[in-house]
Structure 1
Amino acid sequence: MLNPADITRLRTEIRNSTEVVTKLDRWPVHCVEACAVTAEVDYDVAYSEPSIRVDYVPPEKVFGEPADPSCLQGVTKPSTIELPSKSIMRFKDAQIIGWSALRSNLGQLYLGGRLSTAETWKDAVERNKQGFDGFVLDDKDGRRIATFAGRETPQRLNKRALFISFYEPGNYGSFLVRALGKLLFLRDRCPQFDCYVVADRTRWLCEALPLLGFPARPIYSVREVTGDIFSEIVTVNDFVSEGYFDPNTADRLAIFVKEQAGSVNTAAASIYVSRELSSIYRPWYRNMTNEGQITNYLRDQGFEIVNPETMSFQEQIRTFAGAKEVAGPSGSAMLNAIFSRSQVRVLDFESFHYTVRQHARAYASTNKRYAFLFGDVATDAKDPLHTRPWSVPLTTLSEAIEWLRS
């Protein structure tokens, strides 16, 4: 499976070559037709739930000013959201060609379980240009082509695979908002399967499966079986809309949290979700330059400082389930607030990021009272806005803490 930089190189090779590309460095490359889905159905639906419309509740407060107000688009006002239907689908003799892409035995392409129709094909090609799909999708000589890296000769595996598709392998937040809902949907109604195929064989995924009651089976990463043909693939479409958990999924999540947290202390300490460990090994990415000062201030205010990356998945669930209020800089760890009880207050510190709406939807759909605090982003840096150093003024934080505890 290729990363975005490799995808860019592969796309350039395809564009500049007069022949079919069969190699990228040492990777064998395969070009296959990936036609849009037609009326001919090539899968079975094992179970489904209909689409619904829900009312989105915006944040109660926004403290500070974002460096780019566009990150609050669709965030600050009430709205109605159309959530997609949910389906468990079974494909015979199908292959996985990307983090969230499956090709059926008729050559039809399914992206995150969504049918790639003639109408959505153009959008799929445009999204693919971002390089995060793990393969190249394009039109060539009037044919629709998917190009991916895999083994020299794809294997035909006599296995029924459960494919948990999601983007950003290795990203804990992506697992929470893109994969956990699927697992909750599957846990009581999953067809028989012999193995798992997942975006990445992460610690939290491996810990989550037995907690959810899934059987012990071999776990393959997409990288290891790209292009191989399974006798059957079971998968679920992407139904969590930009982090919004539909009511049924939110109820399933609450039941799961209760199973794991048990009788947590409902008067547990306020928690501050630290990013200090991240700044040590990724000082170039969203480094909050005064986090030490913020940590000391909040500790004096009675906050417990937590580093979720040092905890097991179950420990993270229990910690957030017992919190009476949650504060911290935006990131994957803050999405653990979905495990907190209904009406718990959440204060999300932001610099600038495109995922503000995703966080807002996750908090709103799990019935949190939430607010955003925007800090000061460095203006003299040449880095992209969402990766620049930033800081949180203590005066703004003090005002936000008053709201948090009002």
Structure 2
Amino acid sequence: MTLRSRLARAVRRRRLARALKDLDAIAEALTPAEGFLVVYLDEPKQHLVDDLARRLAVEVRMIRVDGSVEAALTALRSMPRPAAILDATSTGNRVNLLRQTVFALPAGAAYVAAGVTPQWTSDVRASAQPREGEGAAAARRRQELADSIDVQTSTQSLGVVRKRGTHHFTLRHHAVEEVLTDQFGADWGEVIAQREAYEYESRATLHMHGEPPHRDKPATISVPALSLRRYRDVTCHLREVTTKGNLVLPDTFRHWQGGRLFHKRIIPATAWFGRLEDRMQQANVRHEAGEFFSFDSAFPTHYGHLTTETLSKHWGWRIAHERNPDLRVVMTHQPNQERLPSWKADILGALGVPLDDILWVTQDESVRVDSLVAAMPQLENPHYADRDLVDTWEALYAGLGPDPAPHNRAAKIFLSRRTRTQRWCTNTPEVEAFMAEQGFTVIHAEDTSYAEQAHIFRAAKVIAGFAGSALFNMMLNPEARVVVLSSRGYVAANEYLFASAAGHEIHYFWAPPLVDQPADGFTVDAYRSDFTFNLDEHRAELIQALA
């Protein structure tokens, strides 16, 4: 350590020591409400804790920071929301400590930094200002900070910030049991069942035609350990958002292995915190007795998300329902949408899920339940698909009943699209005409019932179509050859994951999107981009694959 830095630290410690002597000023700045006060320290100072506890008549909890923001966050995550925070540290980046941890406070609570100069206050304000050249995601998080703090003028070596709004810690699966035990003890719930992690070589026979996306299709599929948990006393919100106290439970997030947890209805503040959208926070919360299973989804009326994310939790339903035959299902009822579309009822009904007593949550009403059972998914796009998903797919097809017309099914089918909102193939009529010339029956999935679709897919020898959810019933026919026509910007891997688990021969034919993915990143615009499929370029290989 240089002489200058040692002198600077000594000055900060003297300033902090002077500030901490004025407990009256600190008490006035903190003005904690009901609850407890958190004090950040570099080393234990029990006399300070005792003095504050007497002066403020509240419980005081110490967090030893030692310059580590993560140490503060880890400790805060295992507590309910504190009534106030006092930063009594003299080391580390104290502005960043506030930026990262102030979100733990409830609305109106005070964050007080002792022993600071007016420069600290200026730096806090500056940290919430826009930065030139900053990425969109970082700019949104900085704006969330600006909207969440009220920086007051510093006095008597005290910096004071008041919190706006309410935020939650966003939990990951690897931490959930430890954090819940720390906060709630053994009463948080239990792990009902676990599946061990394993790897397998993809069973797909993969063929690529044209220039593929930058993301490779992994030859080895790594399936993580999966848990089935029973949580006590949690609140179910719209679109699978589930909270307990100041925590968002990890089952909320469908891309749970992502670098940052993301949900469209949760505004990100930092890697550790998010804010439920206003409608969710303002919704009435009622209590419903009993035990429930989460068959909810971030996209409740989207066929593709049901057949990937929801079905991949069925393993947990089987176990939980056997333990508790009175188990009910919780789902979202989207505004202006059919509560239970026929295809959704057909799929869940075929799997033995009772549909006549569903607990519905809406944007106007969340539900606090006695207990909620939630299963980690057997599939996460684009990372893994558990081989045992095949058991669910077979049970689904069996539950639909026998094919009423087994001898009148097309051997070759092409799944086309009418929807032009995203990933529209601009020469769709040309592609459909070509497929018809090759002996394919052109199908639009929305024209038939789900059971009829299932039987059509089951009987086909070759299944072709534009990439996306219309092809997902390939899961019901592991013997078919699958041909996928796709934009290179569409980097989802659902069809490949299905094929990896079930053993399909699968051919991808790639077309350049109108908006391409960046070489080292991802954009939604490219993911949704329209494209033109060049039949002349692919004709020979396509005819061979379709034969």
Q: Relative contact order (C-alpha < 8 Å, sep 6+): which is higher?
A: 1
Partner of 2:415: 273
Distance 2:445 2:496 in 1: 20
Any conservation in 2 of the 1:289–1:391 contact (CA below 8 Å)?
yes
Structure 1 residues 255 and 214: alpha-carbon distance in aligned structure 2, compared to 1, 3 A threshold: closer
Distance 1:344 1:337 in 2: 8
The correspondence for 2:330, drawn from 183, 196, 216, is 196
Any conservation in 1 of the 2:514–2:529 contact (CA below 8 Å)?
yes
Q: How does 1:263-302 map to 2 (within 5 A)?
A: 263=403, 264-265=406-407, 268-275=410-417, 277-279=418-420, 282=421, 285-302=422-439
Structure 1 residues 81 and 186: alpha-carbon distance in aligned structure 2, compared to 1, 3 A threshold: same
Any conservation in 1 of the 2:269–2:275 contact (CA below 8 Å)?
yes
Deviation at 1:321, TM superposition (A): 1.1
Q: What residue identity is the alignment partner of 2:206?
A: E
Partner of 1:347: 483
Partner of 2:513: 377
Structure 1 residues 294 and 147: alpha-carbon distance in aligned structure 2, compared to 1, 3 A threshold: closer
Query: 1:150 is paired with a residue of what secondary structure?
Result: helix
Aligned residue-pair number: 367
Task: Report whether the alignment pairs 1:127 with 2:261.
Answer: yes
Q: How does 1:315-394 map to 2 (within 5 A)?
A: 315-340=452-477, 342-378=478-514, 384-394=525-535
Deviation at 1:273, TM superposition (A): 0.2
Distance 1:296 1:390 in 2: 18
Using the size of structure 1 for normalisation, the TM-score is 0.77
Task: Report whether the alignment pairs 1:86 with 2:226.
Answer: yes
Q: How does 1:1-400 map to 2 (within 5 A)?
A: 12=143, 15-17=146-148, 18=150, 20-21=163-164, 30-32=166-168, 37=176, 38=178, 40=181, 42-57=188-203, 59-66=205-212, 69-70=213-214, 73-75=215-217, 78=219, 80-97=220-237, 99-104=239-244, 107-112=246-251, 126-128=260-262, 132-138=263-269, 144=273, 146-148=275-277, 149-151=280-282, 153-183=284-314, 185-187=316-318, 189-190=320-321, 191=324, 192-198=326-332, 201-203=339-341, 204-215=343-354, 216-221=356-361, 223-226=363-366, 228-242=367-381, 244-260=384-400, 262-263=402-403, 264-265=406-407, 268-275=410-417, 277-279=418-420, 282=421, 285-340=422-477, 342-378=478-514, 384-400=525-541
Distance 1:259 1:164 in 2: 18
Distance 2:378 2:319 in 1: 17
Structure 1 residues 92 and 405: alpha-carbon distance in aligned structure 2, compared to 1, 3 A threshold: same
Distance 2:284 2:524 in 1: 42
Q: What residue identity is the alignment partner of 2:539?
A: S
Partner of 2:115: none
Deviation at 1:74, TM superposition (A): 2.6
Distance 1:98 1:222 in 2: 6
Deviation at 1:57, TM superposition (A): 4.2
Any conservation in 1 of the 2:491–2:527 contact (CA below 8 Å)?
no
Q: What residue identity is the alignment partner of 1:205?
A: K
Distance 2:190 2:385 in 1: 25
Q: CA deviation digits over 1:168-208, x for unaligned, max 9?
A: 34322111111112135424642332442248545132332
Q: CA deviation digits over 1:121-145, x for unaligned, max 9?
A: xx66x333xxx341134459xx956
Deviation at 1:317, TM superposition (A): 1.6
Deviation at 1:306, TM superposition (A): 0.8
Deviation at 1:345, TM superposition (A): 0.5
Q: CA deviation digits over 1:369-390, x for unaligned, max 9?
A: 101001243379x993333332
Query: 1:62 is paired with a residue of what secondary structure?
Result: strand
Deviation at 1:254, TM superposition (A): 1.9
Deviation at 1:332, TM superposition (A): 1.2
Deviation at 1:94, TM superposition (A): 0.7
Distance 2:368 2:502 in 1: 38
Query: 2:453 is paired with a residue of what secondary structure?
Result: helix
Distance 1:327 1:266 in 2: 19
Distance 1:59 1:278 in 2: 30
Q: CA deviation digits over 1:273-308, x for unaligned, max 9?
A: 011x213xx2xx222111111111211221111111
Ranges in structure 1 where 5+ consecutive residues have no aligned partner: 23-29
Partner of 1:25: none
Q: CA RMSD in A?
A: 3.6
Structure 1 residues 238 and 110: alpha-carbon distance in aligned structure 2, compared to 1, 3 A threshold: farther
Q: What residue identity is the alignment partner of 2:540?
A: E
Any conservation in 2 of the 1:308–1:333 contact (CA below 8 Å)?
yes
Query: 1:373 is paired with a residue of what secondary structure?
Result: strand
Ranges in structure 2 where 5+ consecutive residues have no aligned partner: 1-135, 151-161, 517-522
Deviation at 1:352, TM superposition (A): 2.2
Q: Percent identity?
A: 17
Q: What residue identity is the alignment partner of 2:330?
A: Y
Distance 2:515 2:289 in 1: 56
Distance 1:152 1:199 in 2: 14
Distance 2:285 2:464 in 1: 48
Q: What residue identity is the alignment partner of 1:234?
A: V
Q: CA deviation digits over 1:337-390, x for unaligned, max 9?
A: 1122x231100001123434332112221211101001243379x993333332
Any conservation in 2 of the 1:83–1:241 contact (CA below 8 Å)?
no
Q: What residue identity is the alignment partner of 2:416?
A: S
Distance 1:87 1:383 in 2: 31
Deviation at 1:101, TM superposition (A): 3.9
Structure 1 residues 113 and 258: alpha-carbon distance in aligned structure 2, compared to 1, 3 A threshold: same
Using the size of structure 2 for normalisation, the TM-score is 0.59
Distance 1:82 1:222 in 2: 36
Q: What residue identity is the alignment partner of 1:196?
A: V
